[in-house]
Amino acid sequence: MPEPTYIVLIKQVPDMDEVEFDYEEGRVDRSSAPLEPNPFDLNALEEAVKYKEELGGEVLAISMGPKQAESTLKDAIARGADEGILLHGREFAGSDTWATSLALAHAIETAGSCDIIFAGEKTVDGDTGQVGPEVAEYLDIPHVAFVSDVTKRGEKEIQVESETWGATYLKSMNLPGLITVTKDVNEPRLPSFKDKQRARKAEITTWGIDDISIDPDNLGVTGSPTRVANMEVPPPEERESLILREDPGNSVNQLLEKLDLGREN
């Protein structure tokens, strides 16, 4: 039996606490913020590493993006991934979720056999959550989204709790399959100094369009079914506030008079 392979889809995103928005020019200043792995993807990675710790195998992190996304893949290696692959090239730039999913699915096929694909429920910049399920559909494998707990790790089957239909469902999925995870699923481990040192020296494989046999007409701005026609950066919506500064008793009293909130019940 070959060792199982776990693939983690990971994206480099700006640290959202630091990004600056130019409300007058209507643009995002991406260079204003340090880059980091998408926080949800770290939960996905942690889950892959846990699987590996329980059943053996290899964890492969795949990202698509500019050259500097290598640092995110090195970060993934420090946190337990065995290998990092970066899809990179001008043809990929400007891809929407459909084109991105197509590229990632080609990369997964190129990597060989794969047992489970792990993805975050969404990214904090694009915020679509579409890439995971689109990859699963393209690869013709099942998926479970919004996984908040992995309850059983098997070689042929995974059992998870999934948040959907306003409830939690315990589901089993035959493998190969894909899951997208929420923040509830685990607490990602912090890499040790030694892990970071090791990861710094790791080689990241870079693949271009020829390596994954994809038609460039399906990629980038030209290949994407959707395009951004324009973008607004609306100033944050401030409200007309009534500020009460008296002692608590009076302030609360005034508030409740304004609100007419059920003191009668």
Partner 1 sequence: MSDVMVFAENNGNKIHPVSYELLGKGKELADKLGGELTAALLSGTSLPAGELIERGADRVYRGTAERLAEPIESSYREVLVQVIEEANPEVILIGATNFGRSLAPRVAMALDTSLTADCTGLDIDEEKNFVQIRPAFSGNILAHIKSRTSPQLATVRYRVFPEAGIEEGKEGEVIDVELSLGGEDTKQVEVLEERRGKKVNLEDAEVVVAAGRGLKKEEDFELIEDLASFFDGKVGASRPLVDDGWIGRAHQVGYSGRRVKPRIYIACGISGQSQHLAGMKDSDMIIAINSDPSAPIFDYADYGLVGDLYEVVPELTRQLKGE
User: Is the distance from CB of 16 to CB of 125 less than 8 angstroms?
Assistant: yes
- Nearer residue to partner 1 within complex by CB, 93 or 255: 255
The least distance separating partner 1 from the CB of residue 95, rounded to whole angstroms, comes to 13
Q: Which residues contact 12 (CB under 8 A, 6 or more apart)?
A: 35, 36, 37, 38, 63, 65, 66, 68, 69, 71, 72
The least distance separating partner 1 from the CB of residue 264, rounded to whole angstroms, comes to 8
The least distance separating partner 1 from the CB of residue 262, rounded to whole angstroms, comes to 8
- Nearer residue to partner 1 within complex by CB, 2 or 235: 235
Kindly report whether the peptide bond that precedes residue 216 is cis, defined as omega within 30 degrees of 0. Answer: no
- Nearer residue to partner 1 within complex by CB, 40 or 77: 40
- Nearer residue to partner 1 within complex by CB, 28 or 55: 28
Q: Which residues contact 6 (CB under 8 A, 6 or more apart)?
A: 48, 51, 52, 57, 58, 59, 60, 114, 115, 116, 117, 118
User: Is the distance from CB of 49 to CB of 37 less than 8 angstroms?
Assistant: no
The least distance separating partner 1 from the CB of residue 67, rounded to whole angstroms, comes to 22
Residue 61: C-alpha distances to residues 17, 73, 127, 163, 191 (Å)? 25, 7, 20, 25, 16
Is the torsion defined by CA of 134, 124, 9, 92 positive or negative?
Answer: positive
The terminus-to-terminus CA distance of the chain in angstroms comes to 66
- Nearer residue to partner 1 within complex by CB, 125 or 211: 125
- Nearer residue to partner 1 within complex by CB, 128 or 192: 128
- Give the tokens for residue 248: 């608590």
The least distance separating partner 1 from the CB of residue 200, rounded to whole angstroms, comes to 26
Task: In whole angstroms, give the CA distance from residue 47 to residue 108.
Answer: 18
- Nearer residue to partner 1 within complex by CB, 113 or 164: 164
Task: In whole angstroms, give the CA distance from residue 107 to residue 9.
Answer: 11
The least distance separating partner 1 from the CB of residue 261, rounded to whole angstroms, comes to 7
The least distance separating partner 1 from the CB of residue 120, rounded to whole angstroms, comes to 10
